[in-house]
Amino acid sequence: MKLKNSSNKPYLIRSIYEWCVDNSFTPYISVIVFPELDMPGKYFNNDEIIFNISNKAVNDLIIDNEFIYFSARFNGVSRELEIPMTAIKGIFAKETNQGILFSLDADNENRLPVTEDTGLTSIANSSGSTSKRNHLRIVK
């Protein structure tokens, strides 16, 4: 009997989020734009959007195994967002650019996260420094 492995992605996202909170860093998620995302196009950059998911920026944050749910205000307009795990490209700390980028290939969903050549350093990297610049742009 073959057991189906659940994705490790939500567990890794929750762990990086907790690490950010414990270290007073600001957790950001990178999301690939998907059709159901109810956001004005002006917030998108190269079919990607970056969300600040800190306690100060969002309300009612829930990170479960299928979705990230939260409510936030964008230019004074309150929005309830439901982001599928498949759309999450990565999570990182704003202050250090440390975090995890994920492969978006469905066949790689259960594999370890992609951390090399991304411009972000893995939290497993103990050096804490990088000469690469973050290629992600923060959208406010």
Contact residues for 24 (Cβ-Cβ < 8 A; gap 6+): none
Confidence of residue 139 (pLDDT cuts 50, 70, 90): low
Alpha helices by DSSP H, listed for the chain, are 9-22
- pLDDT tens digit sequence for 81-112: 999 999 999 999 999 999 999 987 654 444 43
Is the model's pTM score more than 0.85? no
CATH superfamily of 9-108: SspB-like (2.30.30.220)
CA nearest neighbour of 29 among 94, 75, 76 = 94
